[in-house]
């Protein structure tokens, strides 16, 4: 049984955006809006997709919850577990590796005191490794929310971390806004 | 610098703005096409231009269009493949970010030729900031009468939308992309039927890469002869090459097909040579999926001819001594590079990106990563090297989509050309680098 208090609901503005996206697809094909709507849902739910949120998305698109779960679990940008306020995604694939991605990753590990897949105890940062971000000419590269940070060096990492700490960086903002 | 078609105006400030693009002659190809050319005439132009799909497969674009079932009463769709995810490839991001109207103009031309009234740009979810630039440009195109109902009073109507992916390399495979656009997991479909007959929502659909579509305005404006006059052999026109790795000037270069590889790597106009004056060791010339070649074979063919940046020349010698132009993702490695470790990062990539539908790919990519991990960590045996070759052979050609081949080719080619380096890892029981 679901706890009624846990049932999420978008505000008017977000619902308008969702309806506008649904209209981009032919009538009866509203399921096509699933990927964009899940991006929005994740941003509205502290950066991850809870079962309640996925059920809510299913109701918005008039599809079965299982159709949402199977999609959310397939794509790597959707988090199915809670994450920190600021998710740092470090590219590890060939071209980034050739240009020092391992050094960048280990610098993040040292500075944050966590390993990939972990969140700092204060809930501020989650560290993740990701595969090719298609910015290989400016390797090594990381992604934070919709931002790319390129040509990274350990000292650039230090500056970014300092900035994110002072501004209480949140990576899960609505990507459409 | 050779002829610039795609990047000619890329440095013009504010190019993403409709007015700036328009002042440079933007949207005149749409005016010409909609007012003076029939859809079939445009398809003919594109066919004769020799333009090939720039996403990696290199299939002739005009021919792909001609397969579309025009008699079908169903809606037709043009879908732009903007799921750029092949390691080493970062050219499409450049176009959408700096010159979105060129892509939109190409989408209008392609849609008109195919008889499509709705078109989608499927863009990888990581590139949301590019999606926003595109959506702003699309709004401008609507406002100025180049999208929407009755474009330029010609009676032709087109709606164009962006659709974000969510992190899945497999969605760059066109049928997986269509599944994803329908709101499903990105599992490739069995072909035939091909999308031209049964595509998006079961309707006739063409899926084309960003760079392919962005070349259309120039071809329509200047005619097929002008385009076909550029290039060499069956490699017509220009190609964007995204160059990365151990070179002095990583970046995106538009080359006339046929440029010597040696000039591309060493000329200051392009890559500017190897970093720190180091020695060239190997190149992956067309994105991570294509066979790796050692310096000797990338600069010259086995027959001793200079290797050229063209579909034919890079493929010269087959997979024994050649490779592929692929997506134009040009990854350069100097003599300090461990081929095994680089390959391991690719193997991890393909294991991560396999959709899991076909067992040879799902299991094979995972085994290849495991075995490469133990060789790199000094725990491999000589038998492991042959086992890798054997697994690659059994993955290749045994899957619904080309991801299996894409995972197998790098492994097979790295062992073909650098076997002694794998053996050294085994003998020393550690990575020698």
Q: Output the CA torsion sign for A160, A174, A48, A66.
A: negative
Nearest to A152 by CA among A115, A100, A98, A92: A100
- Orientation angle between helical segments B28-36 and B100-114, nearest 10 degrees: 10
Q: Where in chain A is the domain with CATH 1.10.10?
A: 4-72
* Cβ contacts of A147 on chain B, cutoff 8 Å: 129
Q: Where in chain A is the domain with CATH 3.40.30.10?
A: 86-167
Q: How far apart are CA A50 and CA A99, in angstroms?
A: 37
Supply B407's token pair.
């995972």
Pairs of residues, one from chain A and one from chain B, whose beta carbons lie less than 8 Å apart:
151
* pTM exceeds 0.80 for this model: yes
Supply B200's token pair.
């998006």
Q: Does domain A86-167 have CATH number 3.30.930.10?
A: no
Q: How far apart are CA A129 and CA A118, in angstroms?
A: 11
* CATH classification code of B339-428: 1.20.1440.230
pLDDT digits (tens, 9 = 90+) for B259-304: 999 999 999 999 999 999 999 999 999 999 999 999 999 999 999 9
Question: Residue A5's pLDDT is what?
Answer: 60
Contacts of A33 (CB under 8 A, 6+ apart): A18, A21, A22, A24, A25, A61, B183
Smallest Cβ–Cβ distance between B186 and the set A32, A74, A94 belongs to A74
Q: How far apart are CA A46 and CA A173, in angstroms?
A: 9
Q: Are the beta carbons of B169 and A147 separated by less than 8 Å?
A: no
H or E element at residue A142: strand A142-144
- Within B246-363, strands assigned E span 251-256, 259-260, 280-284, 292-294, 308-309, 329-334
Residue in A with minimal Cα distance to B252? A137
Q: Are the beta carbons of B252 and A137 separated by less than 8 Å?
A: yes
Q: How many Å from the N-terminal Cα to the C-terminal Cα in chain B? A: 37
Supply B327's token pair.
């997506």
The tokens 């053996």 sit on which residue?
B423
Supply A70's token pair.
């199977």
Q: Where in chain B is the domain with CATH 1.20.1440.230?
A: 339-428
Contacts of B412 (CB under 8 A, 6+ apart): B291, B319, B389, B392, B393, B396
Question: Phi, psi (5° rounding) for residue A169?
Answer: -55, 130
Q: Are the beta carbons of A76 and B352 separated by less than 8 Å?
A: yes
Q: Are the beta carbons of A176 and B125 separated by less than 8 Å?
A: no
Q: What average pLDDT score do residues B313-336 get?
A: 97
What's CA B227's distance to the chain center, in Å? 20
Q: Are the beta carbons of B183 and A139 separated by less than 8 Å?
A: no
Q: Where in chain B is the domain with CATH 3.10.20.600?
A: 231-334
Question: Residue A1's pLDDT is what?
Answer: 40
* Cβ contacts of A175 on chain B, cutoff 8 Å: 128, 131-132, 164
Question: Phi, psi (5° rounding) for residue B238?
Answer: -110, 165
**Domain at B18-228: CATH architecture:** 3-Layer(aba) Sandwich (3.40)
* Cβ contacts of B246 on chain A, cutoff 8 Å: 98
* Cβ contacts of A137 on chain B, cutoff 8 Å: 90, 242-244, 250-252
Compute the mean pLDDT over every residue in chain A, rounded to the nearest whole number: 96
- The third-level CATH classification (topology) of the domain covering B231-334 is Ubiquitin-like (UB roll) (3.10.20)
Distances (CA, A) of A87 to A82, B167, B288: 11, 15, 27
Question: Residue B285's pLDDT is what?
Answer: 98
Give the DSSP letter string of B61-126: HHHHHHTS-TT-SS--EEEEEE---STT--SHHHHHHH-HHHHHHHHHHHHHHHT-SEEEEEE-GG
The tokens 């993955």 sit on which residue?
B395
Q: How many Å from the N-terminal Cα to the C-terminal Cα in chain A? A: 34
Supply B161's token pair.
């939308």
**Domain at A4-72: CATH architecture:** Orthogonal Bundle (1.10)
Nearest to A84 by CA among A111, A53, A48: A48
* The pLDDT of residue B1 is above 80: no
Chain A residues bordering chain B (beta-carbon distance below 8 Å): 24, 26, 29, 31-36, 38-39, 61, 63, 67, 70-71, 74-78, 92-95, 97-99, 130-139, 143, 146-148, 175-176
Long-range pairs for B17-21 at CB < 8 Å and ≥24 separation?
B17/B140, B18/B101, B18/B137, B18/B140, B18/B141, B18/B143, B18/B144, B21/B99, B21/B101, B21/B102
H or E element at residue A144: strand A142-144
* Cβ contacts of B286 on chain A, cutoff 8 Å: none
Q: How far apart are CA A97 and CA B338, in angstroms?
A: 11
Nearest-Cα distance to chain A for B45, in Å, is 31
pLDDT digits (tens, 9 = 90+) for B68-124: 988 899 999 999 999 999 999 999 999 999 999 999 999 999 999 999 999 999 999
Question: Phi, psi (5° rounding) for residue B332?
Answer: -105, 135
Supply A55's token pair.
């059920």
Bridge partners (DSSP) listed for residue B280 = B334
Residue in A with minimal Cα distance to B181? A32
Q: How far apart are CA B421 and CA B347, in angstroms?
A: 17
pLDDT digits (tens, 9 = 90+) for B133-190: 999 999 999 999 999 999 999 999 999 999 999 999 999 999 999 999 999 999 999 9
Distances (CA, A) of A88 to A45, A85, A97, A157, B93: 17, 10, 17, 11, 21
Q: Nearest-5° angle of CA A86, CA A87, CA A93?
A: 150
Q: Are the beta carbons of A132 and B349 separated by less than 8 Å?
A: yes
* Cβ contacts of B180 on chain A, cutoff 8 Å: 35
Compute the mean pLDDT over every residue in chain B, rounded to the nearest whole number: 97
Nearest-Cα distance to chain A for B129, in Å, is 6
Q: What average pLDDT score do residues A88-99 get?
A: 97
Q: Are the beta carbons of A98 and B184 separated by less than 8 Å?
A: no
Q: Which of B75, B87, B133, B330 to mutate to test the interface with A (most CBs of A within 10 A)?
A: B87
pLDDT digits (tens, 9 = 90+) for B365-403: 999 999 999 999 999 999 999 999 999 999 999 999 999
Q: How far apart are CA B104 and CA B109, in angstroms?
A: 9
Q: Are the beta carbons of A39 and B128 separated by less than 8 Å?
A: yes
């Amino acid at each position: 049984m679901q706890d009624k208090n846990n049932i999420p609901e978008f505000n008017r503005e977000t619902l308008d955006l969702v309806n506008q996206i649904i209209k981009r697809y032919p009538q009866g094909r509203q399921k096509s809006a699933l990927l964009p709507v899940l991006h929005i849902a994740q941003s509205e739910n502290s950066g991850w997709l809870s079962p309640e949120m996925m059920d809510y998305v299913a109701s918005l698109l008039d599809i079965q919850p299982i159709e949402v779960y199977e999609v959310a679990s397939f794509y790597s940008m959707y988090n199915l577990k809670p994450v920190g306020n600021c998710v740092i995604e470090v590219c590890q694939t060939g071209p980034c590796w050739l240009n020092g991605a391992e050094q960048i990753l280990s610098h993040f590990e040292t500075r944050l005191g966590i390993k990939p897949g972990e969140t700092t105890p204060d809930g501020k940062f989650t560290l993740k490794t990701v595969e090719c971000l298609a910015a290989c000419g400016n390797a090594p590269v990381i992604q934070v929310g919709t931002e790319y940070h390129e040509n990274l060096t350990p000292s650039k990492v230090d500056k970014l971390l300092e900035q994110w700490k002072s501004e209480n960086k949140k990576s899960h903002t609505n990507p459409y806004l | 610098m050779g002829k610039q078609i795609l990047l000619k105006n890329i440095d013009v400030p504010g190019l993403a703005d409709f007015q700036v693009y328009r002042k440079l002659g933007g949207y005149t190809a749409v005016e010409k096409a909609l007012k003076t050319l029939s859809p079939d005439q445009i398809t003919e132009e594109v066919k004769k231009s020799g333009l090939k799909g720039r996403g990696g497969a290199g299939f002739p674009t005009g021919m792909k269009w001609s397969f579309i079932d025009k008699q079908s009463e169903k809606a037709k769709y043009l879908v732009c493949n903007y799921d750029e995810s092949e390691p080493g490839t970062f050219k499409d991001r450049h176009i959408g970010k700096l010159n979105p109207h060129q892509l939109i103009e190409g989408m209008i031309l392609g849609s008109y030729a195919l008889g499509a009234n709705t078109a989608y740009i499927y863009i990888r979810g990581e590139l949301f900031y590019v999606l926003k630039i595109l959506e702003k440009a699309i709004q401008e195109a609507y406002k100025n009468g180049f999208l929407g109902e009755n474009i330029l009073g010609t009676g032709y109507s087109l709606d164009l939308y962006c659709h974000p992916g969510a992190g899945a390399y497999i969605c760059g495979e066109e049928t997986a992309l269509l599944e994803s656009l329908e709101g499903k997991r990105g599992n490739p479909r069995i072909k035939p039927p091909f999308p031209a007959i049964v595509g998006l929502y079961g309707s006739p659909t063409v899926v084309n890469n960003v760079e392919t579509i962005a070349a259309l305005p120039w071809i329509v404006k200047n005619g097929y002869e002008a385009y076909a006059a550029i290039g060499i052999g069956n490699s017509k026109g220009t190609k964007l090459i995204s160059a990365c790795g151990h070179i002095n000037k990583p970046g995106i270069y538009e080359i006339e097909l046929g440029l010597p590889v040696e000039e591309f790597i060493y000329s200051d106009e392009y890559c500017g040579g190897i970093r720190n004056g180091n020695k060239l060791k190997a190149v992956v010339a067309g994105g991570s999926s294509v066979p790796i070649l050692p310096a000797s074979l990338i600069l010259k063919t086995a027959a001793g001819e200079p290797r050229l940046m063209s579909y034919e020349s890079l493929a010269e010698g087959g997979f024994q001594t050649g490779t592929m132009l692929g997506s134009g993702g040009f990854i350069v490695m100097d003599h300090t590079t461990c081929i095994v470790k680089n390959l391991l990062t690719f193997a991890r990539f393909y294991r991560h990106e396999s959709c899991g539908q076909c067992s040879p790919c799902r299991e094979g990519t995972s085994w290849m990563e495991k075995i490469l991990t133990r060789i790199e960590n000094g725990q491999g045996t000589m038998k492991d090297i042959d086992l890798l070759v054997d697994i690659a052979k059994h993955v290749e050609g045994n899957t619904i989509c080309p991801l299996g081949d894409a995972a197998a080719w790098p492994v097979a080619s790295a062992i073909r050309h650098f076997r002694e380096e794998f053996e050294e890892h085994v003998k020393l029981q550690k990575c020698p680098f």
